[in-house]
Amino acid sequence: MAKKRTVFVCQECGYRTPKWAGRCPECGSWGSFVEEVESPKPKRQRRWVESEISEPVPIGEVTGKPQERLRTGIEELDRVLGGGIVKGSVSLFSGEPGVGKSTLLLQVAGLLAEKGRVLYVTAEESPEQVALRARRLGVESKNLYLLAENNLEAIAQAVEKLNPLFAVFDSIQTLYLPEIESAAGSVSQVRESAAFITNLSKRRRLTSFIVGHVTKEGSIAGPKVLEHIVDAVFQFEGDRGYNFRILKSLKNRFGSSGELAVFEMTESGLKEVPNPSQFFLAERPKGKAGSVIFAGIEGSRPILLEVQALVTRAIFTTPQRKAKGISPNRLSIIVAVLEKELGIPLRNFDVFVNVVGGVKVDEPAVDLPVAAAIVSSYFERPVREDVALFGEIGLTGEVRRVKLEEVREKEAKKNNLKTFKSIKTLKDLTKLI
């Protein structure tokens, strides 16, 4: 028998090298290389490709039918999905363990089972566990089938036999293809398994959701290597300390990315939160320094979020800058501009900033509320209560215009807040604090 060749594969990005390395030259991750047995390309897949050789077609002759979509009936979810799940598409549903992926997808499976047969492949939990959870969630449909199996070949056979409309594969890290020799959960297995499911779905017009776990440090056998295989990537986030969860579309071939929906984890599963602004502001402290409302945009919808800052005298010679919900770079620049333009000696102070609710904001419009929160905390004077702010801050302290200002203003107004377009430079902040 020929000697087995092994190769080291970066579990973050899939980079391959014959020699072990401490740091991946491709993505820069440390300690991410794992030895895997090099296996020949699965023969079966090649056969499918050969049997489906395509001919080039003039673009004018391609008649595109509008995408048929499966609506779950959970409105917030359907919106993030782009108006429902496109029939025959494959989506990755990623998130940390315990965030509620299996719970939400079991609810979705139950809802879609009203329209046709649904297969829930449970490769992590026993059918008893899943059935018990289904009962708690009030999911009971004759059309919902459970399959406890890890071997994708066997799963494919079950799919051929059952011919379901919709299938959930929970999770990609526990599924395997027997012809690939590395362990379940390794990059090779994860990638080939996802390609296998995609192939199966496209051939059978099966709509699939693949569950993928990620860890806090990034991803193990990461959903990153899967992102270009699947049609859409949805991320489920949430802090264990809170009951709410945020669903975001990171990539969507059939809809817009960046859409966001909020869910609340209850005794009977996940419930949509139709008005996230009210939800995020519910516990806002009144009359406290360092708290400002940000009129933000997530995807296509406006959302009001509370930004908090805490400015305290520095303990060490190098002052601390800690940011949760915004990038540390953004915070450093805002602090530098505040120091220069307003003459606040922040070099002697630690600055902590937090976007309440665990939402990650990556639009420049958050600059102004962050700056206002820092100034307010520094002077220990609250910002006017009826204010919601947005605006990018330039390096000379000017406040720049941002996208969708009218939409932000409307959302603020709906919640009885004013947006103060008269704030043109950082110096104008004194009008509010």
Q: Give the binding site for ligand TYD (CB under 6 A).
A: 95, 97-103, 133, 136-137, 265, 267-269
132 vs 336 by CB, closer to ligand TYD? 132
Query: At 339, which amino acid appears?
Result: E
CB of residue 170 to ligand TYD, shortest distance in Å: 7
97 vs 116 by CB, closer to ligand TYD? 97
Nearest Cα neighbor of 270 from 295, 239, 246, 302 is 246
237 vs 298 by CB, closer to Mg ion? 237
CB of residue 255 to ligand TYD, shortest distance in Å: 23
CB of residue 135 to Mg ion, shortest distance in Å: 17
Q: Is 101 annotated as a binding residue?
A: yes
Q: Is 99 annotated as a binding residue?
A: yes
Helices (H), 42-144: 43-51, 75-80, 101-112, 127-137
Dihedral sign for Cα atoms in the order 6, 12, 16, 21? negative
136 binds, among Mg ion, ligand TYD, none (CB under 5 to 8 A by kind): ligand TYD
Q: Is 28 annotated as a binding residue?
A: no
36 vs 237 by CB, closer to ligand TYD? 237
Q: Is 100 annotated as a binding residue?
A: yes
Which residues make up the interface to Mg ion (CB under 5 A)? 102
122 vs 182 by CB, closer to Mg ion? 122
DSSP for 276-313, written as a single string: HHHHHHTTPPTT-TTEEEEEEEETTEEEEEEEEEEEEE
382 binds, among ligand TYD, Mg ion, none (CB under 5 to 8 A by kind): none
Q: Is 84 annotated as a binding residue?
A: no
133 binds, among ligand TYD, Mg ion, none (CB under 5 to 8 A by kind): ligand TYD
d(CA 364, CA 248): 19
CB of residue 105 to ligand TYD, shortest distance in Å: 8
Q: Are strands 301-313 and 291-298 parallel, antiparallel or unpaired?
A: antiparallel
d(CA 232, CA 254): 8
The pair of three-digit structure tokens given for residue 180, joined into one six-digit string:
């690939």
Q: Is 82 annotated as a binding residue?
A: no
Q: How far is CA 416 from CA 2, 25, 293, 409, in A?
A: 74, 52, 12, 10
91 vs 102 by CB, closer to Mg ion? 102
Nearest Cα neighbor of 412 from 303, 282, 268 is 303
d(CA 237, CA 244): 9
Q: Is 73 annotated as a binding residue?
A: no
184 vs 292 by CB, closer to ligand TYD? 184
Nearest Cα neighbor of 288 from 270, 306, 314, 263 is 306
CB of residue 329 to ligand TYD, shortest distance in Å: 31
CB of residue 142 to ligand TYD, shortest distance in Å: 21
**How big is the chain by its Cα radius of gyration, in Å?**
25
Q: Is 97 annotated as a binding residue?
A: yes
The pair of three-digit structure tokens given for residue 260, joined into one six-digit string:
């966001």
28 binds, among ligand TYD, Mg ion, none (CB under 5 to 8 A by kind): none
CB of residue 334 to ligand TYD, shortest distance in Å: 35
Binding residues are: 95-102
Q: Which residues are annotated as a binding site for ATP?
A: 95-102
